[in-house]
Amino acid sequence: MSENLLEDVYVETVLGRIRLRVGGDGPAILFWPSLLMDGSMWLDIARRLQPHYKVVLIDPPGHGASSPLKSGFDFASCAICLREIVDALQLARVHYVGNSWGAMIGGTFAALYPDRVGKLVLMNGTASPCGAWQRIEYSLLIRMGLLLGGIRGPLRGSAEKAFLGPTTRATRPAVVTAVREALSRVDFRSVRWAVESVVPRRPDQRMVYTAVRAPVLVVAGEEDATFPIDETRMAANAIPGASFVVLKGVAHLAGFESPGEVSELIDGFIRANG
């Protein structure tokens, strides 16, 4: 979809100035992407859903046109950031769609602010703390990114493998190109704080998720190497009454890789749980 159909809105939050792209009328859906991605990850889905919904695409803290991060954060601060966005847009309640980092924060937001959320679609996420090997791996990746000055050289290949599976790499060249372009835009001095906060310092959220009372659809990617099916299923099992679905031929960026299928899932879930 053309970004010209969306209005830029900036909101001051506990995690800095956040850029939103807002368009459409109807029930509001907020979209929070993965680490290293900005709100443009959702443009194709926004085009499909905007005729029926108000879409709000978030450049998360430290990403895109949002203000740079200068320190780390906890997940409760991300939930406060979301609440401040909802307040600034003068919305009583919103539906919510999150991918990876966005999925994790969606669960936190629903647990802490149950009166502000309608339905949630949480994709490619986890509720589990970071494992020892992943903590070491990402600590080294942060150091390499700072030395290289961004997602360059060997880091780019590692990031692509974390995001995209064999089906997308073989059959969706436009998605591969878009992911590479998104990675090239990353301000690593800012984003490193988000990576550190969301991966090595990630908390165990399974008890937090037991407090969620909103209808939730948890989505896993069949080819997701970052959070495999069983890990994402564990997050779904922690949420009372959550639904769970696995998308074939999709890895860690479900909304980017298969926007038509994901748009239908979002729309169908919201309407079915109206």
Structural domain that includes position 34: 3-272
pLDDT at res. 1: 45
Number of structural domains (the chain) is: 1
- Give SS3 for 128: coil
- Where are the alpha helices (H) located in the chain, listed in sequence order? 43-49, 75-88, 101-112, 132-148, 154-163, 166-171, 173-184, 188-198, 206-209, 229-238, 254-257, 259-272
pTM to 2 decimal places: 0.96
Residues 268, 92: Cα–Cα separation, whole Å: 22
**Alpha-carbon span 270 to 265, nearest angstrom:** 9
Is 50 exceeded by the pLDDT of residue 196? yes
Name the residue type at position 241.
G
What percent of the chain has a predicted confidence (pLDDT) above 90? 92
What's the pLDDT score for residue 273?
Answer: 57
Q: Is the pLDDT higher at 1 or at 63?
A: 63
pLDDT in tens, 203-235: 999 999 999 999 999 999 999 999 999 999 999
**pLDDT tens digits, one per residue of 251-263:** 999 999 999 999 9
DSSP assignment of 77-99, as one string?
Answer: HHHHHHHHHHHHTT-S-EEEEEE
Residue 186 maps to which CATH number? 3.40.50.1820
**Whole-number pLDDT of residue 131:** 87
Q: What is the pLDDT of residues 108-146, one digit of tens each?
A: 999 999 999 999 999 999 999 998 888 888 889 999 999
Tens of pLDDT along 94-113? 999 999 999 999 999 999 99
